[in-house]
Amino acid sequence: MTTAAPVHREVRTLELAVSGMTCAACSARVERTLNRMDGVRASVNYATERATVQVPAGLADEAVFERVRKAGYGARRRGAGDEDLTTARVRDLRRRLIVAAVLAVPLGDLSITLALVPSLRFPGWQLLGLALAVPVVGWAALPFHRAALRNLRHRSSSMDTLVSLGVLASFAWSAWAALAGGPEPGYWVGFGPTAPGADAVYLDVAAGVTTFLLAGRYFESRSRRGAAGLLAALDALAAKEVRVLRDGAERMLPVGELAVGDRFVVKPGEAVAADGVVETGQSTVDVSAVTGEPVPAEAVPGRRLIGASVNLEGCLVVRATAVGAHTQLAQMTALAERAQARKASVQRLVDRICAVFVPVVLALSALTLAGRLLTGHPLRDAFTAAVSVLIIACPCALGLATPTALMAGVGRGAQLGILIKGPDALEASRRVDTVVLDKTGTVTTGRMSVTGCHPVATRTAGEVLWFAGAVEAGSEHPIAAAVLAAARAEVAELPEVTAFRALPGLGAQGTVAGHEVLAGSARLFGEQGIALPAEAAARVEAARAGGAVPVLVAVDREVAGVVVVRDGVKPSARAAVTALRELGLRTVLLTGDHEVAARAVGAEIGVDEVRAGVLPAEKALAIAAMRAAGARVAMVGDGVNDGPALATADLGMAMAHGSDIALRSADLVLVREDLRVVPDAIRLATGTLRIIRGNLAWAFGYNVAALPLAALGLLNPLIAGAAMSLSSVLVVSNSLRLRSFGRGGPDSNGSGD
């Protein structure tokens, strides 16, 4: 018997804007509906009102839209108009809130005054109360009723079901009591005489609860828009027009017409239109809005610029290397948006709870009404308790606890040059106790430079560089390039080299101004039979001990001096390691370099441990061994050979200037050149997690404590409505504290912005 091989279908990603969701139960329902479709995998985020759907290649978009609509919600492809629709919804909520508040205040005053002073009651006062309440219950509360009716048609429920039932029950009871009830109805607040039977008017409850809930939803919507607006602000940094040099003339064009390889002009005060390399001009650029680095960066020929950074001084001509969706800014925004759309594991648990929460509350409200009647409580008291249960239990805060914090944290991280790929990265950061740093290109600059020139005998440093630079001009080795750059900076003009010969792995030789010049390693000099003077030998040993590369220079077979070349340590490296250790994290330097060079760098930056001589293929094995020993490892790297190690670590952190493989393998992408972004990223991740845990503790605790109080009749509906709205607003406001990270906000070190 043979088993058929599984069929692998191609899938594509469809991003939806979902309208009509009012709580986490709604998002859970939309998600279940989509996941029932054959081959579809969906994740729906209530806070961002987005759905990320993996769709089989043969399934039409309209089929997905229609399935969401059949569930009672609106769906369309995400687009540029999403922000306008959000603004319009917030504006509509504000109008309804104003009407509800304007009518609820006199209605409440009327109710309390007539309850306190029955002698002031006048004929028809109940009808006046009804007249004031009808616009509130009928129009201001319409979004709750409309959503509840939609849920009813689809045999489902949400928080709107609870709110609508509570408001309509209060109003219907009041209308019955006012029009056909006892002679002088009393009030739930306990003032004034009451009559048996239908003896309570709840118009102030219906209007007050509607006002409180509208206020909560309005401020919640504004806050959610503010959290999402962090990315909109980042995206808005991009230039809209660009001065392109074509056919020798400067032309102003829409930035969408800029192509890779085009040369464009950036004048003082203008934003750089795309990623590129400076060809001519010299200036400084403000990169703080893109990377969070407060110090302007130098812009000189050959320097790479990030699109959306702002030119501060001189005029620059830049050659575009990435445009449109391929620019660093566009990729940062897209990456952060995808991270916001994904869910933390704790959020998936909350969604499952919310999906069954509303039916449970409806049953609890009915049991409260029946239980209190069976235990001999007046109908008024039983009704009050049942309505309080309906209103207090709305799971808004639970649904908002995780996604709003994630939105704020990811958005703020993007502004600071810290790209969080998803909530799994945040969750991994909580467990990290060891940070492994790659050396070349991460701790060091990745660029060789001359750090010293030591002449021997009668030679001068200028002469040594003059000869060395001339002979190295014919070589393409990074060490040769460093020597050549130093020589050109020191000497006005270098002579031509003839009879040049590259000696792979050893150095180079040639004839300069009639002199035979040899530049290279001590091994080369040994093979050539050139003896090293004691002074030169000491310089060579000192350079090696410091982790540098000594380049010996001989003129006419006589040692002229030693040029010391080194891949310089980044100025921020030591401060970054110190900050990591202050966070209680162990630091390890992992490199393929020889032991002496690695230990010199390790001692300079102050790491706890140095592991040298680790081949590229062995880096992932080294990370795996640390994890097997019980360590929770974060790996920071940038090269092609760091990709497997980044993927193996619990938390992979890639420098944005690194290889595509490293960036794809990482959980966090660090845009800033300053290595202090590493502890900043861990602080932001742990701070975001702390906010999420605080939100969930409040939301769960609130519902667990409030429901029994309401069921026992210890909370009246007005206080329940106010408490429910306040709970949601507090959760969102707590999440928005992350917007101040880096400015003295939560878990901030005060740097980075």
Catalytic residue positions, numbered: 438
User: What are the two backbone dihedrals, phi and then psi, of residue 566, each rounded to the nearest 5 degrees?
Assistant: -150, 145
Distance (Å, rounded) from C-alpha 325 to C-alpha 331?
7
**b/e sequence 193-214, b meaning 16+ C-beta within 10 Å:** ebeeebbbbbbbbbbbbbbbbb
- Nearest CA to 738 among 427, 401, 411, 428? 411
What one-character-per-residue DSSP string does 156-202 give?
A: ---HHHHHHHHHHHHHHHHHHHHHHS-SS-B-TT--S---SSS-B--
Distance (Å, rounded) from C-alpha 517 to C-alpha 512?
7
Contact 209, 718 (CB under 8 A): yes
**b/e sequence 690-721, b meaning 16+ C-beta within 10 Å:** ebbebbbebbbebbeebbebbbebebbbbbbb
Non-local (6+) Cβ contacts of 176 within 8 A are 198
SS3 label, residue 649 = coil
Two structure tokens written together for 55: 């769709």
- Nearest CA to 285 among 301, 273, 272? 272
Distance (Å, rounded) from C-alpha 402 to C-alpha 374?
41
Non-local (6+) Cβ contacts of 628 within 8 A are none
SS3 label, residue 445 = strand
Q: In what order do the strands lie in the sheet with 434-438?
A: 418-420, 668-670, 651-655, 633-637, 434-438, 586-590, 609-611
Beta bridge pairs of residue 653 = 636, 668
- Nearest CA to 428 among 685, 623, 646? 685
Q: How many other CB atoms sit within 10 Å of the CB of residue 749?
A: 15
Cα–chain center distance at 251? 37
Distance (Å, rounded) from C-alpha 620 to C-alpha 628?
12
Q: What H or E segment, with its residue span, contains residue 549?
A: strand 549-555
Distance (Å, rounded) from C-alpha 153 to C-alpha 69?
12
Distance (Å, rounded) from C-alpha 643 to C-alpha 641?
6
Q: How many other CB atoms sit within 10 Å of the CB of residue 157?
A: 21
Q: How many residues does the chain have?
A: 753
User: What are the two backbone dihedrals, phi and then psi, of residue 344, each rounded to the nearest 5 degrees?
Assistant: -75, 155
Contact 631, 623 (CB under 8 A): no
Distance (Å, rounded) from C-alpha 341 to C-alpha 377?
49
Q: How many other CB atoms sit within 10 Å of the CB of residue 391?
A: 34
- In the chain, the amino acid numbered 539 is R
Handedness of CA 600, 606, 608, 613 (dihedral sign): negative
Contact 129, 137 (CB under 8 A): no
What one-character-per-residue DSSP string does 400-435 give?
A: HHHHHHHHHHHHHHHHTTEEE--HHHHHHHHH--EE
Can you give the three-state secondary structure of 4-28, one letter per residue? Answer: CCCCCCCEEEEEEEEECCCCHHHHH
